[in-house]
Amino acid sequence: MNSEPIIKVENVTVRYDDRTILEDVSFNINRGEIFMIVGGSGCGKSTMLRQIIGLETPVEGRIYIDGENICAARGKQKKEILKKFGVLFQSGGLFASMTLAENIAIVLETYTDISQECMAELIDMKLASVGLRGYDGFLPSEISGGMKKRAALARAMALDPMILCFDEPSSGLDPVTAASMDAIIREMNSALGTTMVVVSHDLEGVLTTAHNVIMLDKSVCGIIAQGDPRKLKAENKNPIVHSFFNRIAE
C-alpha cells in the first residue's frame, strides 16, 4: 500500500438550504487502501461519498482526485476524472430490462471503442472475477440479491478504475452473503491494488476489512475519530466512538 494520498478532502462543507450536514471536513485516502466511512444514521456518510465521486459539489472546500480538483473541474476534464471511479450504489443500480452482459456493455460502449469480440471477452472476465461466469444472459430479476450486488460490482470494474466506491455494500444482504462481499473487496484490493472507498454500517465488515476509517457524527457535522478501526475499538475513549465500535446501546 502506497502512502501517497489518491484522494484529498480539504475543508469541505455541505449544506442543503439552511441545514449543515458536514462542516470543515478534511482527510486523506491513501493509494491502494480500503478506506471506510462509518457513523450513525444521518451523520453524512453517503453525503460525503457523493461529494467525492462528483455527484454533488460542496458549498466550501476542495476535493482532489489523483491531484485534480474535482470540485472545480468541468466538461472534458471532469469526465476524465470520473473515469477513474467505479461506483457500486446501495441498490446496485442495474438496468432491469438489460441482461448482466448488457449492463456491463453499456459502460464499455460509452467510454471505449473496443471491438465487440474484445468486449465479450472483457465482460466474461469481469463476471468471472465476481463468481458470475455463465450468467451473462440473465436479467437482474432472475438472480439473487447478493448476485445483483456482485454483478453491479463487475459493471463498476468495467473500466479498470483506480478507485472503487461502495455505498453500503452489505445493505439488504444476509450475514453470509455480506461476508462474501467483504471477502471480494479484500481479494480485489489485494490482487489489483485498487483503492476502495466504502460507506458502511456493518461493524463486522469494518473490523475485518478496513485499513483506515473515519467516523462521522451529526453532533459535530464532521469527524470524531479516524484510524485503524481495530485500534479505535480497543483504545478510543470517546464514549460515542467506544459505543459504536463495541456495539453498546446508548
- Per-residue pLDDT tens for 124-140? 999 998 999 999 999 99
Query: What is the C-alpha separation between 231 and 25, in angstroms, rounded?
Result: 22
The residue extents of the domains of the chain are: 94-160
Q: Is the pLDDT of residue 90 over 80?
A: no
pLDDT-derived band at 186 (thresholds 50, 70, 90) equals very high
Burial state string for 129-146 with b = 16 or more CB within 10 A and e = fewer than 16:
bbebeebbebebeebeeb
Query: What is the C-alpha separation between 245 and 230, in angstroms, rounded?
Result: 9
pLDDT-derived band at 10 (thresholds 50, 70, 90) equals very high
Residue 171's pLDDT is what? 82
Grid cell, residue 87, equals: 461506483
Is the pTM for the entire model greater than 0.75?
A: yes
DSSP state of 141: G
| 35 burial level (CB within 10 Å; 0-12, 13-18, 19+) | buried
Q: Is the pLDDT of residue 249 over 60?
A: no
Least confident of 35-39, 59-63, 64-68, 155-159: 155-159
Residue 250's pLDDT is what? 54
pLDDT-derived band at 2 (thresholds 50, 70, 90) equals low
| 175 burial level (CB within 10 Å; 0-12, 13-18, 19+) | exposed
pLDDT-derived band at 207 (thresholds 50, 70, 90) equals very high
Q: In what order do the strands lie in the sheet with 60-65?
A: 19-30, 5-16, 60-65, 68-69
